[in-house]
Structure 1
Amino acid sequence: MKNTIAFKTPLMAAILLSASAAWADVKPTDVWGDWKSQLSGYGYDISAQETMSGGDLEISDLKMNITLPEDEGTVDVMLSGLKFRDNGDGTVSVQFPAIMPIDMHVEAKNENPVDIKVNYTTTGLTMVVSGTPESMTTTFSAASMGLALADVMEGGNTVDMGDASFSLTNISGNSSTGGTDIKTRKQDFRAESLFYVIDMANPDNAADKVMLKGQMNGLSSNFAAAMPEGVDFQDMAAALAAGFSADGTFTYQGGQSEFAFSGDGDSASGNGSSKSGQFAVQMNADTLGYSFESTGAQMTMQVPDLPFPVEWAMEKAGFAMDMPAAKTEDPQDFRFSVTLGDFTISDMIWGMFDPAGQLPRDPATIAIDMAGKAKMLTNIFDPAEMETIGEAAPGELHALEVKDLTVRAVGAELTGKGAFTFDNSDLESFDGMPRPEGVLNLALSGGNALLDKLVAMGFIPEDQAMGTRMMIGMFAVPGDGPDSLKSTIEVNDQGHVMANGQRLK
């Protein structure tokens, strides 16, 4: 049953990503043919009863079958009630019933067959397709659209899982398709709000429960993809080599949620919110990239072991990664960054380990931004290749630049910048690591004051603090201000490691 959710997405994408262009003629059979082409591109085998009435086309008994990866079973999706109406002006209107049941039959290896019924609902939906059979554009809008779990049966027996649904309000957008051997698909989508509810219990143990509900506001997304004819997504390496690519961005302007779960004697509940968020993905034959950013996040959580709620907030959280997507002949660019900015916790949590308030409680930040060059020695999307390398690294590091390193907390701050190149022919100088050459500049402020406070609080014995200061003195020199230190760590072309000109290795 865990595999079925992924197969709803291609269906919904096909419903929204059908296409048209408003200055030529398109017929209902053209639109339906494009939908079938898209579904086939996602790996579905399709059969349906197609009935013409005048110039209109009605689809009933639509069945889509797909095989799960690694021969784990099959999924059948059945629905009826699609109508493609010829408007008489070169455009086609697509009509759905207000409530359209979607039936899924899942037969996974070594598991009982599962039947799932989901109701797809729409209110005030209009969808108009125009253009030519080769290049179509769809314009759509709706007061609401949603999916709700209706029934679940396992091995012929009804299973009471609970409720699961999501709905969108005030939707609008457009999508387009074009191309021949490689189809191009683009979509622009907006919605006022997304509401979601998951309230389920383990049918074999009612004490195991999970509840999640909330909403997101001001949603928008942009998506573009190139789909080669006959692409097989179970072989992603071949799909990328054939020209498959995807580039999309999703944003929202605030959201709230609440949750509760229990199981194995544990339980927790809470609520959270955020001001905005963004997720982006890029995938093609050369590059794989992900990025995520959230602002103004807050969370309150109640756990059994504490008599008070756990509260935290973070003004900014971000992650970004870009890397080569396939085996490369020469070193290629990569990037990695993480930001946890202005993190705060409640005074009650501070009071557990600092009741006297000796430590500064300013917002804490951890941020690192790195870029460099790496040579990929294997194709990470090819499972057979990945198995052959065993525990070896899938690539070689050739250059690394630390653009920014910041760790700021409890009154101290560590910053750094630097750059290194790596000689992969020398794996002996640094015990199996390619020999680096370059410079890293570090600066620390507030370190001694923090050590003094930790000693006064009893967290660190005085002798250990003195040992820490002596060790820091080996690597650092006084900085430009009070209670500040700086250090220049250099590795030269002979593999010598030096700190502020003093050789350490």
Structure 2
Amino acid sequence: MQLFNRKRHIMNTKYSMGGGALFAALLTSTASFADVTPQEVWDVYKGYMTSYGYTLEADESTSDGVLTISGLSMTMALPEESGELTLSMGDFGFLDQGDGSVLVTLPSVMPINIHVTPTDDEVGDMKLELATSEFSMVASGTIDDMNFATSIGDMSFTLKELVSGGEVMIQATAAINAHKVVSNSTVKSGDLRSFVNDLTIGKFDYSINVTDPDSASEFMMRGETVDLKMASATSIP
């Protein structure tokens, strides 16, 4: 039995201007394009994931200024027509803050499921749990030039269950933890969709331990780093 074929299948404005009518005209015209709505933020997210090759399906509902996304499923083809991968997540939302910005809301614990259907190997499933504390993500700007300011006190990904060929792999543990996360991202739309991100993590650690019950072979990896800083820029047609 192979484990997902590991070798192949293992992210106010303030205006101070005097002059009555001029100020009012500038403020009104600026507000018309400087505000973003929950639907626009969700649309930007969908467009970003679609540009990476994902096909998205989800239920959308709006109540009291909150757009709630439930049943999100994202599917993409694996390289060389070798199958497909489907990622599904728990509910999350977009809250209109009334100042032109949108607060992205997550539950403190969110389930994430990954389903892999390779054409030449066993079907695999991975159940993960994303836990966060002091989570804040605020979207602002315009639909064509949107900024995401994010801060997280603590964040962890934990492997809850691993299934290969219908059999639960009990000899597998994995955890990834990040502390004091601060991220500033910009997504711009045009002829190219560009993504620029600056990320700092106070502390990052991980622990992975997997044993193949058939061969008794074991894979272990642990690590830790502090004061991690990353900057990235990507453009996609």
Question: Would the TM-score normalized by the shorter structure come out above 0.5?
Answer: yes
In the alignment, which of 207, 219, 224 is matched to residue 210 of structure 1? 219
2:227 alignment partner AA: G
Partner of 1:55: 65
1:141 aligns with 2:146: no
Partner of 2:30: none
Q: Is contact 2:48-2:193 (8 Å) kept?
A: no
In the alignment, which of 63, 75, 98 is matched to residue 88 of structure 1? 98
Partner of 1:36: 46
1:109 aligns with 2:119: yes
2:69 alignment partner AA: I
In the alignment, which of 227, 235, 251 is matched to residue 236 of structure 2? 227
Q: Is contact 1:160-1:203 (8 Å) kept?
A: no
CA offsets 1:269-326 (integer angstroms, 9 cap, x no match): xxxxxxxxxxxxxxxxxxxxxxxxxxxxxxxxxxxxxxxxxxxxxxxxxxxxxxxxxx
Unpaired runs of 5+ residues, structure 1, are: 6-12, 14-20, 229-505
Aligned in 2, Cα 1:180/1:68: closer, same or farther, shift over 3 Å?
A: same
Distance 1:101 1:173 in 2: 22
Distance 1:103 1:86 in 2: 28
SS in 2 for 1:52: strand
Per-residue deviation, 1:137: 0.7
Aligned in 2, Cα 1:32/1:214: closer, same or farther, shift over 3 Å?
A: same
- TM-score for the superposition, normalised by structure 1: 0.41
Partner of 2:210: 200
Per-residue deviation, 1:121: 1.5
1:144 alignment partner AA: D
Per-residue deviation, 1:161: 3.6
- TM-score for the superposition, normalised by structure 2: 0.85
1:128 aligns with 2:147: no
1:65 aligns with 2:90: no
Distance 1:76 1:22 in 2: 39
Identical positions, percent: 31
Partner of 1:99: 109
In the alignment, which of 35, 48, 70 is matched to residue 25 of structure 1? 35
Distance 1:212 1:158 in 2: 21
Distance 1:202 1:155 in 2: 13
Per-residue deviation, 1:184: 2.0
1:148 alignment partner AA: T
Per-residue deviation, 1:172: 0.7
Distance 1:179 1:59 in 2: 23
Distance 1:92 1:53 in 2: 14
Distance 1:167 1:124 in 2: 14
In the alignment, which of 192, 195, 218 is matched to residue 182 of structure 1? 192
CA offsets 1:336-355 (integer angstroms, 9 cap, x no match): xxxxxxxxxxxxxxxxxxxx
**TM alignment of 1:41-440, pairs within 5 A:** 41-206=51-216, 208-228=217-237
SS in 2 for 1:106: strand
Q: Is contact 2:162-2:172 (8 Å) kept?
A: no
Partner of 1:271: none
Per-residue deviation, 1:37: 0.5
Per-residue deviation, 1:205: 3.2
Aligned in 2, Cα 1:22/1:161: closer, same or farther, shift over 3 Å?
A: farther
Partner of 2:27: none
Calculate the aligned-residue CA RMSD, in Å. 1.5
Distance 1:158 1:182 in 2: 43
Aligned in 2, Cα 1:210/1:44: closer, same or farther, shift over 3 Å?
A: same
Distance 1:137 1:55 in 2: 20
Per-residue deviation, 1:4: 4.1
SS in 1 for 2:76: strand
2:96 alignment partner AA: D
RCO (CA 8 Å, sep 6+): is it higher in 1 or 2?
2
Q: Is contact 1:174-1:188 (8 Å) kept?
A: yes
SS in 1 for 2:46: helix
- Would you say how many aligned residue pairs link Structure 1 and Structure 2? 213
2:189 alignment partner AA: G
Per-residue deviation, 1:51: 0.8
2:109 alignment partner AA: I
Q: Is contact 1:4-1:75 (8 Å) kept?
A: no
Distance 1:72 1:192 in 2: 38
Distance 1:107 1:179 in 2: 32
